[in-house]
A and B are shown apart, each in its own frame.
Chain A
């Protein structure tokens, strides 16, 4: 297996003023992320998801253990820019990520910092804006755009760095249903183009679209597998104060009343298909 990210026994701890013992935000996590895969990470607030993400692109460094991106150890300062270029990050609040007053300038910010040739920057900016369907808005001011549009600009800024992996930390949390749909469509497309996706989300329907779902709780990985495998543990997931997708919940309720529903049904579309077939 070709892994773009390898996490070896990662521990991340920090001191809190009112406590003597350090808090273990990440508590001995080992993971490998396959190149080109789409992984969703879920867990309640404070479970360590965001801390894990920040350890991947060296915004935070391990207290012990190690994180490797493309084989580079994140603790190796000489490789910092290689790591950040390879693994780009998109955050929750679109307003905190845009730095420029014109969309295309904002997208150019990253490549300009890398000292890339202006002609190449122009091409990268245009390509990135096309790929998030925002080329038409390239001359606009970001504050006049919708939340979903701003978030797509933030993604374009990351794509312009030509990353191999994009880590998105709750990119749809502040968006309305339409904005969420727009952003998920772009994430799907980037995945199809071969970019490795790590999506941190509270929306179980989004997680169900990934190849792999990781559930974190109290700094540890508690479940890890395909969406079908992970959402098969509905009781455990609910005990962690998390939700399961609507179709999983419904199938579970019906099974408890003796109705047989295949275990691999995790989306509404699959549920419709299954029931409709039984009625043919």
Chain B
């Protein structure tokens, strides 16, 4: 078990008029190398939850044990946590600040106390991993790049620290279809090469269904449901009541079932939908 979250509760602005409970008694575990998707309505506690996992927020109660160490403890060094857990925020390109791409990506590794040589090596590796050409881009200003490129540079800045756990909050928000696809392929590549655990927060059910080994469903600060994508997206009524949709192929199959067409419900990808519909339609082929 790499991450154990036990009875996590968080309250914002405690004792103030705006006091609100953001997380209530959340417990789950994540294994080393797992790819976990987190879904939930805006305000369901997804971002609050992931900010706890790298120590940005401290819980009101409960514990977060990472590789045997409770990171909510008083004598835990933040630097050790951040070295292990990389967090990519929403719209991370807003956090670019250096003169060159190289310097921006090197900022994290240097901050961790690496020598310039070590950091340079990490930068080259990270820029390659996010699918950019180091020689072409290293000396350019990050601000003159396209939106998709900027985002990849920002992600490179996090993976240059080789985190064992990489958390990404809506990494494809606001991108065009091509950049969206590129970022997802990049995440799969990082997962494969760095063999790290990935926690992906997304509103795109299709992406979650395709990529995640396991899905956590958040609702009003509570963990409402957890399971494999097939298990989670089978709970259509519950998801609907939480204001969440289904991956498009699952939605199609569900509507067909409602109309009495004999198809299986556990269909999450377009390939599987094609196969299922081919089987039932081929006899009526004209």
Contacts and interface: CB of A to CB of B under 8 A. Distances in A.
Interface of A: 44-46, 92, 146-147, 170, 173-174, 176-179, 202, 204, 241-243, 246-247, 249-250, 253-254, 257-260, 268-269, 271-272, 275-276, 278-279
Contacts of A173: 173-174
30 contacts: A45-B146, A45-B175, A45-B178, A45-B179, A176-B41, A176-B203, A177-B203, A178-B42, A202-B176, A202-B177, A246-B248, A249-B270, A250-B249, A250-B273, A250-B277, A253-B274, A254-B277, A258-B282, A258-B285, A259-B277, A259-B282, A260-B286, A268-B251, A268-B252, A275-B256, A276-B260, A276-B261, A279-B260, A279-B261, A279-B280
Given A246-B270, A259-B281, A268-B251, A241 B256 contact: no
B252 A250 contact: yes
Given A253-B274, A254-B281, A271-B252, A44 B176 contact: yes
B281 A275 contact: yes
A276 B174 CA distance: 35
B278 interface: yes
A217 to B, nearest CB: 11
Contacts of A272: 252, 255-256, 259
Nearest to A245: B248
Contacts of B278: 254, 257, 259
A258 B284 CA distance: 11
A243 B177 contact: yes
Given A46-B146, A178-B243, A250-B273, 19 more contacts: A44-B176, A92-B174, A146-B43, A170-B174, A174-B174, A177-B244, A178-B42, A202-B175, A204-B177, A241-B178, A250-B249, A250-B270, A250-B274, A254-B278, A260-B286, A271-B252, A275-B256, A276-B261, A279-B259
Contacts of A146: 42-43
B256 A276 contact: yes
Contacts of A276: 256, 259-261
Nearest to B281: A259
Contacts of B261: 275-276, 279
Contacts of A46: 146
Contacts of B178: 44-45, 241-242
A254 B273 CA distance: 10
A247 B274 CA distance: 11
Given A260-B285, A275-B281, A179 B252 contact: no
A44 B236 CA distance: 33
A96 to B, nearest CB: 12
B104 to A, nearest CB: 20
B174 A278 contact: no
Interface in B242-286: 243-245, 248-249, 251-252, 255-256, 259-261, 270, 273-274, 277-278, 280-282, 284-286
B128 interface: no
B177 A177 contact: no
Contact of A278 (B146, B244, B252, B281): B281
A153 to B, nearest CB: 16
B73 interface: no
A244 B278 CA distance: 20
Nearest to B271: A253
B148 interface: yes
Contacts of A258: 282, 285
A44 to B, nearest CB: 5
Interface string B219-253: 00000000000000000000000011100110110
Best-buried of A44, A176, A258 by chain B (most CB within 10 Å): A176
A26 to B, nearest CB: 18
A45 B147 contact: yes
Nearest to B41: A178
A147 B177 CA distance: 21
Nearest to B90: A174
Nearest to B178: A241
Contacts of B244: 177
A258 B277 CA distance: 12
Contacts of B252: 246-247, 250, 268, 271-272
Contacts of A259: 277-278, 281-282, 285
A260 B281 CA distance: 9
Nearest to B43: A146
A176 B176 contact: no
B270 A45 contact: no
B241 to A, nearest CB: 13
> Which 10 A-B residue pairs are closest in the complex by CB-CB distance?
A241-B178, A276-B259, A246-B248, A243-B177, A272-B255, A253-B274, A173-B174, A176-B42, A45-B176, A260-B286
Interface string B126-137: 000000000000
A177 B245 contact: yes
B209 to A, nearest CB: 13
Contacts of A147: 42
Contacts of A253: 270, 274
Contacts of B245: 177
